[in-house]
């Protein structure tokens, strides 16, 4: 009996499928755990009485002396109060407690606060907190993270795999951590109850876990990075290193500090790690785009980059820059989540490959019509303002003349601007158009069928770049039908 060796290709395919199933189960359990932790926090937050305050998730709010609070209008505490002790138990300092007994609504506590540089005692009665009030204040951000999770869950259902699994971890991590951030913790929770510890876990560990999922998506999409084939441990390092760094930092910050100061140090370390992971993801995405040779993969990365660019530009122009320059954003801060919608659109197109190659046309048309609007709008304003000063008594005639002039210039200006944009930003489309136009001109002059056939194959190769081409001509009496074949050398 002769034995034949097993097909190595089939074995590799089976191993890849088994590895994919294991990674799918791991992603499923991880996402379920993250969502369960977020749901548990919401339930604990609802059943735990509060004092009408919220401690911001910023380092300066968690100090060695206590916590700085933001207070509700009907709270006996005020915005900016520094709560240093509750019922004689100091919040800051190494001698403070790390766990507090449970309280009930209606319990009366004595808060020691520092207000306007003076220390005073403020009696506070605990009460039930309303989750709707907190969520309504940040409805834009909540809506964005819910949409993000819905989109990535749909993408994972349509294209299951390690890359979309990383997106699913990102969506669930941001959803659970953002709910915890928006609901927040009160000064009473800062004494060390279960709400505080789950809050720290969600806003620090789970939040970084979500960004680690994004980094995994970057190195796996649209195809696994070539380095991962030689060093598989790199993927685990990308996923686990950020979370491990947060845990190590939290343990290193323990000695010699109280609970509130420790939370402030953890927040500072987590902020630095999150920025580093996000920056690393951006750099890896740029490297992968610049080194990608697959045209489909480049288009997918281009959709991602385009969506991220539009979202970042919207957030910068509409919210962050006006807030920095004028002290007030153009739209309410609650609407900030809408700036992420272009990113979701680009992500969906990139993963599903729907109308993938339309991105060049979209970019070209956007730039062309944007420049055209600036040119015609500037010209209209110059004509109306300039001639309006000369013919002040008949300004309506100037407006009508300027409108007619801009309408007449629209089509010629659009063609010139579009051609200029295509030459600079959509060179392939421009070269293709020029090649087809030149072939059309020669077609009217050339009569030899063999020459036309060869030129037609050349034009198709230059414009569409196929791997192989065949041209079949209908046979004529007295002439044999010989198909013309050509294989592209690229």
Alpha-carbon gap, residue 259 to 225, rounded angstroms: 42
357 conformational bin, left if phi > 0, alpha if psi -120 to 50, beta if neither:
alpha
Q: Are 140 and 334 in contact (CB under 8 A)?
A: yes
Find, among 187, 70, 79, the residue nearest to 134 by Cα.
70
**Tokens for 173?**
């991590």
Q: Tell me how long the chain is.
A: 490
The helix or strand, by DSSP H or E, that contains position 486, with its residue range, turns out to be strand 484-487
Beta strands 108-115 and 468-471: pairing type? Answer: unpaired
Q: Does this model's pTM top 0.75? A: no
Alpha-carbon gap, residue 63 to 61, rounded angstroms: 6
Which is it for the CA torsion 314, 132, 200, 209, positive or negative?
negative
Residue with tokens 């991590």, as numbered in its chain: 173
Alpha-carbon gap, residue 411 to 402, rounded angstroms: 16
Residue 466: the pLDDT is 62
pLDDT of the chain along its 490 residues, tens only?
Answer: 344 444 444 444 444 454 556 777 888 999 999 999 999 999 999 888 888 899 998 899 998 889 999 888 888 898 889 999 888 888 876 555 666 777 888 889 999 999 988 999 999 988 887 777 777 888 888 889 999 999 999 999 988 988 999 999 999 999 999 999 999 999 988 888 889 999 999 999 999 999 999 889 988 888 888 877 777 788 888 889 999 999 999 999 988 888 899 999 999 999 999 989 888 888 888 888 888 777 778 888 888 888 888 888 888 888 888 877 777 788 887 788 888 888 888 888 888 876 655 656 666 677 777 777 878 787 777 777 777 666 655 567 777 777 888 888 878 887 888 777 766 655 555 566 666 667 676 666 666 666 767 777 676 666 665 666 676 666 666 555 555 555 554 4
Output the CA torsion 328→334→336→341 (10° steps): -150
Beta strands 108-115 and 53-54: pairing type? Answer: unpaired
> Degrees (nearest 5) of the Cα angle 91, 93, 97?
55
Residue 16: the pLDDT is 46
**Tokens for 229?**
């084939």
- Distance separating the N- and C-terminal Cα atoms of the chain: 47
Alpha-carbon gap, residue 484 to 216, rounded angstroms: 47
Residue with tokens 């063999």, as numbered in its chain: 450
Which residues touch 356 (CB under 8 Å, ≥6 apart)?
296, 299, 300, 303, 349, 350
Find, among 71, 67, 75, the residue nearest to 96 by Cα.
67
Which is it for the CA torsion 59, 62, 64, 69, positive or negative?
positive
How many CB atoms lie under 10 A from the CB of residue 414? 16
Which residues touch 311 (CB under 8 Å, ≥6 apart)?
339, 340, 341, 342, 343
**Tokens for 104?**
């009930």
Alpha-carbon gap, residue 127 to 137, rounded angstroms: 20
Alpha-carbon gap, residue 129 to 126, rounded angstroms: 9
Find, among 234, 169, 230, the residue nearest to 31 by Cα.
169
Which residues touch 152 (CB under 8 Å, ≥6 apart)?
164, 167, 168, 170, 171, 347
Q: Say how far residue 423 (Cα) sits from the centre of its chain.
A: 30
Q: Are 212 and 205 in contact (CB under 8 A)?
A: no
Q: Are 188 and 50 in contact (CB under 8 A)?
A: yes
């Amino acid at each position: 009996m002769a034995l034949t060796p097993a097909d190595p290709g089939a074995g590799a395919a089976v191993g890849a499928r088994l590895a994919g199933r294991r990674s799918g189960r791991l992603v499923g359990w991880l996402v379920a755990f993250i969502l369960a932790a977020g749901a548990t926090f919401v339930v604990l937050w609802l059943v735990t009485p509060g004092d009408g305050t919220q401690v911001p998730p910023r380092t300066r709010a968690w100090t060695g002396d206590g916590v700085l609070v933001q207070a509700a209008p009907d709270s006996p505490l005020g915005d900016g109060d520094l709560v240093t002790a509750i019922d004689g138990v100091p919040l800051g300092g190494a001698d403070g407690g790390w766990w507090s007994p449970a309280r009930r609504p209606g319990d009366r506590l004595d808060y020691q606060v520092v207000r306007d540089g003076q220390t005073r005692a403020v009696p506070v009665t605990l009460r039930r907190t309303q989750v709707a009030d907190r969520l309504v204040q940040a409805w834009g951000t909540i809506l964005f993270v819910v949409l993000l999770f819905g989109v990535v869950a749909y993408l994972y259902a349509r294209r299951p795999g390690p890359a979309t699994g990383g997106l699913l971890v990102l969506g669930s991590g941001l959803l659970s951590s953002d709910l915890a951030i928006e609901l927040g913790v009160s000064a009473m929770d800062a004494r060390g109850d279960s709400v505080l510890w789950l809050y720290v876990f969600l806003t620090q560990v789970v939040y970084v876990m979500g960004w680690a999922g994004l980094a995994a998506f970057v190195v796996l999409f649209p195809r696994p990075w070539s380095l991962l084939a030689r060093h598989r441990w790199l993927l685990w390092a990308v996923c686990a290193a950020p979370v491990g760094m947060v845990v190590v930092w939290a343990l290193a910050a323990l000695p010699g500090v109280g609970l509130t100061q420790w939370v402030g140090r953890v927040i500072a370390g987590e902020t630095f790690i999150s920025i580093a992971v996000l920056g690393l993801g951006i750099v890896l995405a740029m490297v992968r785009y610049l080194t990608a040779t697959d045209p489909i993969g480049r288009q997918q990365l281009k959709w991602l980059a385009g969506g991220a660019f539009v979202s970042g530009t919207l957030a910068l122009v509409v919210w962050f820059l006006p807030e920095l320059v004028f002290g007030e954003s153009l739209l309410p801060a609650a609407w900030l989540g809408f700036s992420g919608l272009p990113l979701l659109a680009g992500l969906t197109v990139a993963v599903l490959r729907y109308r993938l190659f339309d991105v060049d046309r979209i970019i070209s048309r956007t730039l062309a019509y944007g420049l055209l609007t600036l040119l015609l709008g500037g010209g209209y304003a110059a004509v109306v303002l300039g001639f309006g000063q000369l013919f002040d008594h008949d300004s309506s005639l100037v407006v009508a003349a300027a409108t007619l002039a801009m309408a007449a210039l629209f089509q010629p200006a659009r063609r010139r601007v579009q051609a200029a944009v295509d030459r600079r930003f959509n060179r392939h489309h421009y070269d293709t158009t020029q090649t087809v136009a030149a072939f059309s001109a020669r077609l009217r002059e050339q009569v030899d069928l063999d020459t036309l056939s060869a030129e037609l194959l050349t034009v198709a190769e230059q414009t569409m770049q196929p791997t192989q081409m065949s041209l079949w001509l209908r046979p004529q009496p007295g002439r044999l039908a010989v198909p013309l074949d050509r294989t592209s050398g690229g």
